[in-house]
Amino acid sequence: MFAKQKKIYSIIHQKCPHCHEGEFFVTRNPFDLSKVGDVLPNCSVCKRKYESEPGFYFGALYVSYGLAVGLCIAIFVAVYVLAPDTDATTTVWWVLGGLLLSAPILYAWSKILWANMFITYKGVEPVPGEDLRWLPR
């Protein structure tokens, strides 16, 4: 359904934004809380680095915030539509519970989204003119 060379493929499958083949995260389980959101230093397939500069993923906090706000609104609307007689306190507990349970997933998705915003698909082989000095030997 989603072909390689499309950013959505890299995001959905959590693959390398450069080649769409290597793994992006240390673990694919977002509920492994000791390693949640840990990004590998470079791709195992194309050997390109995932972090272009120190602090690159600080911007993912904004993406995470946007995803969390969207989720809170979606939960609020779902509770309001499915159980219109629910009081405000119960609605707040539903929203907070949903946010707490989905926090590791949102954190991981924000990093892969952020990386795909700034890293373009290049394929496995080095492209002409690409600076290869930073590739591990």
The β-bridge partners of 25 are 39
Q: How much is the pTM?
A: 0.84
**Residue among 44, 25, 56 nearest 118 (CA):** 56
* Poorest-pLDDT segment among 56-70, 89-103, 111-125: 111-125
| Angle at 8 (CA atoms; ends 36, 16), nearest 5 degrees | 55
| φ, ψ dihedrals at 24, nearest 5° | -100, -40
* Torsion (CA) 118, 50, 12, 116 in degrees, nearest 10: 0
Q: What is the pLDDT of residues 26-74, one digit of tens each?
A: 998 888 888 888 899 989 898 888 888 888 999 999 999 999 999 999 9
